[in-house]
């Protein structure tokens, strides 16, 4: 549907992408190359408005993508002790880019986070009731999530911004340390809680399609449904390593080894599914896009 029209219009597209050294930014460049879309990586710093204007003047993009930001290394606990650095990029920088884009009449596709919610009485665990796009974030347990919720609230006022709430991103590259599956296979112990997650192999091409359609506003950018840590590790054992074993521990036990609490939630992906009916449920997407391509013959 619409493929011929899109391929015909591809040469007139030009994307300016921030986050060259990041995981999502790198994958976006590869997808653009595969689709024959002209693109350039921004060299300016997000918090330096003049450098953003210089990038836009040099590249003359049709759309801007922001996959830059501070998540912290090795994890979001870093943000707890680097609050100013986190604000500078995640708040000041993101707002500067949105503002410059608005001045130039450009749509900004902003990869945000869905880790700004946690299960509550209105959205209980295992209820199938997910948080919708217009609901107010209720999780500020980590400084990272707090800054992301602030910025999302402010960006709602920018009619040129498309905010994509990514959660626990997963890709078919099981060697990538940022990959949620890679992380949990390396942990000594894991909690076992169902969550909404984002399969990048399926959803990043959709975000490029969203730019082509000039979509804006907030979108829960996850595959429909939830999957738990144990369900993913069972699939890992089935498809990748039949000898794999793991240990669980409780949220209370986890709290003793992390600095900041972690968000657990289900996001309602109905809006995205209505726009892209081909979108797979989280478990189907995991099998098709992640585990089948990586399947070891011995596991069959």
Sequence spans of domains, the chain: 14-291
Superfamily of domain 14-291: NAD(P)-binding Rossmann-like Domain (3.40.50.720)
Q: Where are the alpha helices (DSSP H) in 124-195?
A: 143-155, 180-186
| Cis? peptide before 74, omega within 30° of 0 | yes
Q: How far apart are CA 204 and CA 285, in angstroms?
A: 13
Q: What does residue 166 show for φ and ψ, rounded to 5 degrees?
A: -85, 145
Q: How far is the C-alpha of 166 from the C-alpha of 196, rounded, in Å?
A: 9
Lowest-pLDDT range, 20-34, 76-90, 184-198, 245-259?
245-259
Query: Can you state the angle between helices 143-155 and 94-103, rounded to 10 degrees?
Result: 20
Q: Does the pLDDT at position 166 exceed 80?
A: yes
Residue 1 has pLDDT above 50, yes or no: no
Q: What angle do CA 39, 204, 88 make, to 5 degrees?
A: 75
Neighbouring residues of 33: CB distance < 8 A, sequence distance ≥ 6 = none
How open is the CA angle 278-279-284, to the nearest 5 degrees? Answer: 110
DSSP 123: B
**What would the pLDDT profile of 195-220 be if each residue is shown by its tens digit?**
999 999 999 999 999 999 999 999 99
Q: Are 206 and 276 in contact (CB under 8 A)?
A: yes
Helix axis angle for 49-59 and 94-103, nearest 10°, is 50
Mean pLDDT of the chain: 91
Please tell me the predicted confidence (pLDDT) of residue 271: 98
28-32, 108-112, 140-144, 254-258: which range is least confident on average? 254-258
Give 21's contacts (C-beta < 8 A, 6+ positions apart).
Answer: none
Inform me whether the pLDDT recorded for 25 exceeds 60.
yes
pLDDT band at 5 (very low <50, low <70, confident <90, very high): very low
In the chain, pLDDT over 90 holds for what percent of residues?
81
Give the whole-angstrom CA distance, residue 270 versus residue 132.
9
Q: Would strands 63-66 and 217-220 be described as parallel, antiparallel, or unpaired?
A: unpaired
Judge contact between 190 and 136, C-beta under 8 A: no
Query: Which whole-number Å values give the CA distances from 143 to 78, 133, 148, 167, in the listed order?
Result: 9, 21, 9, 16
């Amino acid at each position: 549907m619409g493929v011929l029209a899109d391929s015909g219009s591809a040469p007139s597209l030009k994307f300016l992408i921030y986050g060259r050294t990041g995981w999502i930014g790198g994958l976006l460049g590869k997808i653009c190359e595969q689709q024959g879309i002209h693109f350039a990586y921004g060299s300016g710093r997000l918090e330096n408005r003049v450098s953003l204007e210089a990038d836009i003047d040099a590249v003359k993009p049709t759309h801007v993508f922001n996959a830059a930001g501070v998540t912290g290394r090795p994890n979001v606990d870093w943000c707890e002790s680097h609050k100013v650095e986190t604000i500078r990029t995640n708040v000041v920088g993101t707002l500067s880019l949105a503002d410059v884009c608005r001045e130039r009449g450009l749509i900004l596709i902003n990869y945000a986070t869905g880790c700004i919610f946690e299960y509550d009485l209105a959205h209980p665990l295992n209820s199938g009731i997910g948080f919708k796009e217009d609901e107010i974030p209720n999780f500020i347990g980590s400084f990272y999530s707090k800054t992301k919720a602030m910025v999302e609230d402010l960006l709602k006022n920018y009619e040129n911004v498309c905010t994509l709430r990514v959660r626990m991103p997963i890709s078919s590259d099981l060697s990538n340390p940022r990959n949620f599956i890679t992380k949990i296979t390396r942990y000594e112990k894991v909690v076992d809680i169902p969550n909404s997650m984002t399969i990048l192999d399926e959803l990043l091409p959709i975000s490029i399609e969203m730019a082509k359609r000039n979509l804006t506003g907030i979108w829960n950018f996850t595959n429909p449904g939830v999957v738990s840590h144990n369900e993913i590790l069972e699939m890992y054992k089935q498809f990748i390593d039949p000898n794999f074993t793991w240990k669980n521990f409780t949220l209370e036990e986890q709290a003793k080894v992390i600095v900041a609490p972690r968000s657990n939630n289900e996001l309602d992906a109905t809006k995205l599914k209505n726009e892209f009916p081909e979108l797979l449920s989280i478990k189907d997407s995991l099998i098709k896009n992640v585990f089948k391509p990586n399947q070891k013959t011995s596991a069959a």
